Structure 1
Amino acid sequence: MRINKFLAKCNLGSRRAVEELVKNGEIAVNGNLCFDLTTQIDPENDEVEFKGKKILPKNEKIYLMLNKPKKYLVAHQDAFDRKTVYELLPDFDVHLFAVGRLDYMSEGLLLLTSDGDFANKIIHPRYKLPKVYKVLVKGNLDNEQLQKLRDGIVIEGKKTQPAIVFVKNRSQGKIQLRMTIFEGRKRQIRRMIGKIDGEVLELKRLQIADVKLGKLPTGMWRMLKPNEVLSLMNYKKKRD
């Protein structure tokens, strides 16, 4: 199998993420640093190392959802000693990584897994999995501004994919939106709102594809049900 697939099966990250490990010279194959993404790995005969330690594909795969609170960082550690989402989880004795982004001040549905192929399916732009958010915005946005969100906003020279935007409530110079986006750029919703002269006050992810946060309490986690994992893995196929 190709080296990126092998590394993903070793739970080092999604296929796209592990490609950076290869490019950065952090992977050795049979004692030699490997920089070639076309390298084929025979798990039975090749010895692969990451940071000097031999790695093997893991059989046990974990899929869970966390209701991320505000002021928790989606990272294993932080130079400023801020709390991280991993402090809310038990030690599973496998490397868990977050699927997609939720910034420090955002909250809601966060998926974590030890399955790199699963993560790649969720985050890769070509699959266009819908992600639903509740957004509280400072500023009484008008219909023209809202239509710009629906049509797409240019961020760093590239237009975002069209979004689904519903107004849920308007009150005292604030507007509550329900937004569905189909990609996951860094701080995407906050930047989109900023481009139309609004300011995001609260941002909560409610749903990814058919998997909903539901009534899971803030700061709590649960394992995904097998049908939820299959639903996410087969989402695009189901709609083709």
Structure 2
Amino acid sequence: MRLDKFLSEVGLGSRKEVKQLIKKGQVKVNQVVVKSDKTQVDPEKDQIAFLDAPLIYQEFYYYVLNKPAGVISATSDPVHRTVLDLFSSEDYRTDLFPVGRLDKDTEGLLIITNDGELGHQLLSPKKHVEKEYFAEISGIMDQADQEKFEVGIILAGEKMLPAKLMIDEVTAVTSKVRIILQEGKFHQVKRMVKACGKEVTYLKRIRMGQLTLPVDLKKGQYRALTDEELVKLKE
């Protein structure tokens, strides 16, 4: 790997910015100052330091974020605040992206990573990775609605995959439910509930695959996945 690419990968700046650091003699490879950005290095064998501080190379980064309402699931936007705007300058990387999307007003679990292969695996319809949501509904969900979900609701002429509707609580005019999907169509939960004659008033994703939203992660907070959580996510 070229030295400038390595420095950029570990977060020291853009390729243009790190070239200047190298030219200034601020980078050492195996305790020797190197001033050529084209120098080839082996991240696993060479000792690379910036201002004598060792640099550790990590190819992939995995974070779990408790997305708050009001931010969009995008890497950048000229108008709206994005989920990556919630990251500190120390953790932010230009190659990070959200795995899938949650609507602007939807809260809950969102995976942020730079691992494109994992992102593809989690979103591929062929993998049938479950996504579980908690929802508050205006209207009373009942057994007939559960049966519609199990058969597969038709939206805009397309039949959705079978889904599971679990009714947790019902009042005179509202319901609290959990919904498990195996796909992630545009506004799918809201549209499926609307197809049953009701309306979603609050929506939160609480699980993706085997990974559940950490109970101690407050809205707007994120943290790196533990090794155990990463294993669950990849199962």
Q: Distance in 2 between matches of 1:180 and 1:170?
A: 18
Answer yes or no: is 1:159 the counterpart of 2:159: yes
Partner of 2:141: 141
Q: Distance in 1 between matches of 2:98 and 2:119?
A: 8
Code of the residue aligned with 1:217 in structure 2: it is K
Q: Distance in 2 between matches of 1:86 and 1:77?
A: 7
Matches within 5 A, 1:169-180: 169-180=169-180
CA contact (8 A) 1:72 1:84 kept: yes
Partner of 2:108: 108
Answer yes or no: is 1:82 the counterpart of 2:80: yes
Give the drift of 1:231. 2.5
Code of the residue aligned with 1:184 in structure 2: it is G
Answer yes or no: is 1:217 the counterpart of 2:209: no
Give TM-score scaled by structure 1 length. 0.69
Matches within 5 A, 1:26-65: 60-65=59-64
Q: Distance in 2 between matches of 1:96 and 1:124?
A: 19
User: What is the aligned-residue RMSD (CA, Å)?
Assistant: 1.7
Q: Distance in 2 between matches of 1:66 and 1:143?
A: 33
CA contact (8 A) 2:142 2:167 kept: no
Give the drift of 1:59. 5.6
CA contact (8 A) 2:75 2:96 kept: no
Q: Distance in 2 between matches of 1:198 and 1:143?
A: 14
Q: Distance in 2 between matches of 1:209 and 1:93?
A: 25
Q: Distance in 2 between matches of 1:223 and 1:59?
A: 13
Larger Rg: 1 or 2? Answer: 2
Q: Distance in 2 between matches of 1:100 and 1:120?
A: 9
Code of the residue aligned with 2:73 in structure 1: it is V
SS at match of 1:95: coil
SS at match of 2:77: coil
SS at match of 1:204: strand
Q: What does the per-residue CA deviation read over 1:9-30, in whole Å, with 9 as the maximum and x for residues that have no partner? A: x9xxxxxxxxxxxxxxxxxxxx
Partner of 2:229: 228
Give the drift of 1:76. 2.7
CA contact (8 A) 2:75 2:98 kept: no
Q: What does the per-residue CA deviation read over 1:72-119, in whole Å, with 9 as the maximum and x for residues that have no partner? A: 11123334x222211111243341111012000100000011010010
Structure 2 residues without counterparts, runs of 5 or longer: 1-8, 10-56
Structure 1 residues without counterparts, runs of 5 or longer: 1-9, 11-57, 236-240
CA contact (8 A) 1:101 1:186 kept: no
Q: Distance in 2 between matches of 1:146 and 1:199?
A: 15
